[in-house]
Chains A and B, each alone.
Chain A
Amino acid sequence: AQTVTQSQPEMSVQEAETVTLSCTYDTSESDYYLFWYKQPPSRQMILVIRQEAYKQQNATENRFSVNFQKAAKSFSLKISDSQLGDAAMYFCAYELDNAGNMLTFGGGTRLMVKP
């Protein structure tokens, strides 16, 4: 079974600074997808960014980018120019290709943004 580990229960960052959230996963498969989801206090699950394992290029979405290291099974999220609205729980998730779209989530990292 696949596992996803987020080793940082909490992180804080100063507004306008950059922060990196860590995620590692365990799998013996070669084709899979990785995601970062944001969960603000409203409880919504919001997709932040998605990475296909077969792509070497790291995904980016505006201020959000990932560092995908397939051999190390590492998938970190970098948030640049942090904003107060970025404060939330962030979850890393894994999805095996062609396996019913089932997601395996990490335990989450709470990000606090200081003004």
Chain B
Amino acid sequence: NAGVTQTPKFQVLKTGQSMTLQCAQDMNHNSMYWYRQDPGMGLRLIYYSASEGTTDKGEVPNGYNVSRLNKREFSLRLESAAPSQTSVYFCASTGTVNQPQHFGDGTRLSIL
């Protein structure tokens, strides 16, 4: 029962370094999402992919890029990490329209 798998679980970067967060789902879901959660706050949508081959910006896309590699995988890239991007990042997926999203366990990312 893997569901949504995120790697890595923890990462520390220096300002200016680049990093790709990986996400894979094994539920044959069409839509995938990347969120960030800052301390004491709810999740905010960074980017999403409604289907393989499409990606769209969410609420807070600046400083990030995404790739929907195939139906299973959706990666999030930080080209030049900044301390403001210190956060917990969640990947999620969903199948049919308006079904609840399934979340990964999150990646805690610290940028010094």
| Residue ranges of A at the interface with B (Cβ–Cβ < 8 Å) | 4, 9, 33, 35, 42-45, 47, 50, 91, 93, 95, 97-98, 100-108
Contact = CB atoms under 8 A, between A and B. Distances in A.
Interface stretch (B66-74, B77-85, B93-101): B93-101
B52 interface: no
Looking at chain B, what size class is its interface with the partner chain?
Answer: 20 to 34
Contacts, number: 57
Contact of A45 (B44, B56, B99, B103): B103
Interface of B: 31, 33, 40-45, 48, 50, 56, 58-59, 88, 90, 92, 94, 97-101, 103, 105-106
**Prevailing SS type, chain A contact patch:** loop
A35 B100 contact: yes
B48 A100 contact: yes
